Amino acid sequence: MTGPDGTAAPEAQRFAVQTAMERVADLVVSGAEVVLTHGNGPQVGELLVKNQLAAQVVPQQPLDLCDAQTQATIGTLIQGALERSLAVRGIDRRVAVLVTRTRVDPDDPGFARPTKPIGRYLPEHAARRYVEQGETWADFGAPGWRRVVASPEPLEVVDASAAEALAAAGFLVVAAGGGGIPVVRESGGALRGVEAVVDKDLAAAVLAPVVGVSTMVIATTVEHAMVRYGRPDAWPIERVTVGELRALAAAGHFAGGSMGPKVDAAIRFVEQGGRRAAITSLELIADAAAGKAGTVVEPDPA
């Protein structure tokens, strides 16, 4: 979550989170029991920059621990903002923040071909120093070089049962922030963090069925997923079945780094038994949860 200026500065984050939680509070007022996830891309990127700049003074932290730190930081902001928003509406509810792990396959092809950009742009000569330290960087043209990491498929949200227990105990739960801390299972059964980023929307689709969610709403910056996005003949997708949406995705209508994962997550959730999924702007999430706004994805007819 970032502020109106697109930065992850503390006050900008507080503003963005408070704005978002006003809409979530409206959803709770309507009677919904809510489990929240969130992104963390800008925050992880800024934390990595701090690591790089302070490397001569303190040891750098690996990416999985940066994921953990940003989950806790953003979760705390969400916790305070949502509790305040509910209190103003006369509702006394507690919010629990769960720092969450997501298991991935150590042999996922994403580890061999990292493509997820993180952190700042640097000129080639500066990026080469980090390449020599074992990192993977890619040339993005005019902006410069940027670090790229794996974005493996989420197989399991390891701590989903804890999120389920907290929800059953009456908490509003924040879990799987930023897609969760990516971990792999070692031969002895222990879990080990890895340098990767899990897509937050795909992780949400894995978490949702375990915690008993019937409707998944993905908030973004537009009211609908679009066919022919960015073209004069573009049109919004309003109500669509899984099969219809999959066909549109196969035709290449959804960009891989933006709407594509959201569409994929919506399809997966409904296929796993979800009643509906919706993709819409933050302002419309309450209506979208009721199937009255945004791109509403429903099961194929029996």
Model confidence pLDDT, tens digit, residues 96-146: 999 999 999 999 999 999 999 999 999 999 999 999 999 999 999 999 999
Is the domain of 223 the same as that of 205?
no
Structural domain contains residue 32: yes
Structural domain contains residue 118: no
Is the domain of 185 the same as that of 285?
no
Distance of CA 8 to the CA centre of its chain: 16
Is the domain of 157 the same as that of 221?
no
Structural domain contains residue 80: yes
Is the domain of 188 the same as that of 292?
no
Is the domain of 233 the same as that of 202?
no
Is the domain of 57 the same as that of 197?
yes
Is the domain of 1 the same as that of 93?
yes
Is the domain of 170 the same as that of 269?
no
Structural domain contains residue 86: yes
For position 258, what pLDDT does the model report? Answer: 84
For position 63, what pLDDT does the model report? Answer: 94
User: Tens of pLDDT along 187-209?
Assistant: 999 999 999 999 999 999 999 99
Q: Where a domain ends, among 212, 236, 266?
A: 212
Structural domain contains residue 297: yes
pLDDT, the chain, mean: 93
Q: How confident is the model at residue 4 (pLDDT cuts 50, 70, 90)?
A: low
Q: How many domains does the chain fold into? A: 2
For position 11, what pLDDT does the model report? Answer: 81
Range 279-296 average pLDDT? 96
Domain of residue 166, residue span: 1-113+150-212
Structural domain contains residue 125: no
The amino acid sitting at 177 is G
Is the domain of 35 the same as that of 52?
yes
For position 1, what pLDDT does the model report? Answer: 56
Q: Is the pLDDT of residue 7 over 60?
A: no
Is the domain of 200 the same as that of 300?
no
Structural domain contains residue 131: no
Q: How confident is the model at residue 2 (pLDDT cuts 50, 70, 90)?
A: low
| Residue indicated by tokens 């022919």 | 228
Q: Domain with 206 in it: what CATH number?
A: 3.40.1160.10
Q: Where a domain ends, among 212, 237, 254?
A: 212
For position 201, what pLDDT does the model report? Answer: 96
Is the domain of 231 the same as that of 84?
no
User: Tens of pLDDT along 174-187?
Assistant: 999 999 999 999 99
pTM: 0.91
Q: Is the pLDDT of residue 234 over 70?
A: yes
Could you tell me which residues come within 8 angstroms of residue 232 by beta carbon, excluding any fewer than 6 positions away?
A: none
Structural domain contains residue 286: yes
Instruction: Taking the CA atoms of 16, 216, 253 and 176 in sequence, report the sign of the dihedral they define.
Output: positive
